[in-house]
């Protein structure tokens, strides 16, 4: 992946990524072209190719940037959230913020097109989900050891269930344009693993 990053060209590359990310989150990777991005930014297609030689390179750059931002948000939760329940609820809110912006999780959209993606993009999508599942696994293990979270089976299986549940809840909420559908489903997922004592400490409600 070759991205030119000198001087003002960095701003152009970032603008290209911003527009392409929004298009992927609303249309999917196969639902937009370089012409769409060029028209929105009022630049030529050769200018796009100067920064991202191919759509595959652009797609890989999108995933890397998105995954980096998501990882930074998880690091922030590790620092600011006091316990397992708070971290889980903070994690749900990351998805909710995307949905409220009338978008879908970038990697969730790409997962739906997985078989049509270039190999490098496929690997990057898997890396995103692996990182999320690993983070959740750690949160769940710590919560279980501190008796703030409870669940059957392994923390890894529960982490996979949570990621799949949130991605699916986003998908179903989208055509209805109803974030409440997502919030209800996500709330049930969080409450199912929070111990009764942790719930009562918060008035029987998830932390907001």
**Residue 61 domain-assigned?**
yes
**Residue 206 domain-assigned?**
no
Q: Which helix (H) or strand (E) holds 46?
A: helix 45-51
**Residue 65 domain-assigned?**
yes
**Residue 109 domain-assigned?**
yes
**Residue 138 domain-assigned?**
yes
Q: What is the CATH number of the domain that holds 50?
A: 1.10.357.10
Domain that holds residue 104: 9-201
**Confidence (pLDDT) at 198:** 61
Q: Residues 27-75: pLDDT tens digits? A: 999 999 999 999 999 999 999 999 999 999 999 999 999 999 999 999 9
**Residue 3 domain-assigned?**
no
**Residue 26 main-chain phi, psi, to 5 deg:** -110, -30
Q: Residues 145-196: pLDDT tens digits? A: 999 999 999 999 999 999 999 999 999 999 999 999 999 999 999 889 997 7
Q: Are 188 and 166 in contact (CB under 8 A)?
A: no
Q: Is the model's pLDDT at 4 over the cut of 70?
A: no
**Residue 53 domain-assigned?**
yes
How many domains would you assign to the chain?
A: 1
For residue 204, CA distances in Å to 4, 89, 95, 170, 177 come to 52, 14, 23, 25, 28
**Residue 2 domain-assigned?**
no
The overall average pLDDT reported for the chain is 91
């Amino acid at each position: 992946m070759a991205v030119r990053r000198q001087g003002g060209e960095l701003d152009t590359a970032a603008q290209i990524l911003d527009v392409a990310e929004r298009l992927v989150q609303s249309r999917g990777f196969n639902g937009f072209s370089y012409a769409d991005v060029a028209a929105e930014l009022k630049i030529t297609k050769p200018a796009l190719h100067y920064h991202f030689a191919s759509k595959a390179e652009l797609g890989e750059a999108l995933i890397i940037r998105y995954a980096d931002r998501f990882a930074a948000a998880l690091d922030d939760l590790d620092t600011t959230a006091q316990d397992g329940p708070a971290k889980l609820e903070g994690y749900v809110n990351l998805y909710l913020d995307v949905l409220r912006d009338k978008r879908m999780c970038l990697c969730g959209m790409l997962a739906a097109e997985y078989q049509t993606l270039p190999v490098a993009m496929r690997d990057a999508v898997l890396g995103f989900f692996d990182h999320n599942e690993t983070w959740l696994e750690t949160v769940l293990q710590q919560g279980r050891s501190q008796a703030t979270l409870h669940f059957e089976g392994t923390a890894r299986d529960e982490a996979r269930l949570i990621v799949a549940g949130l991605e699916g809840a986003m998908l179903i909420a989208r055509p209805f344009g109803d974030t409440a559908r997502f919030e209800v489903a996500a709330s049930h997922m969080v409450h199912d693993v929070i111990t009764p004592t942790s719930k009562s400490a918060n008035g029987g409600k998830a932390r907001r």
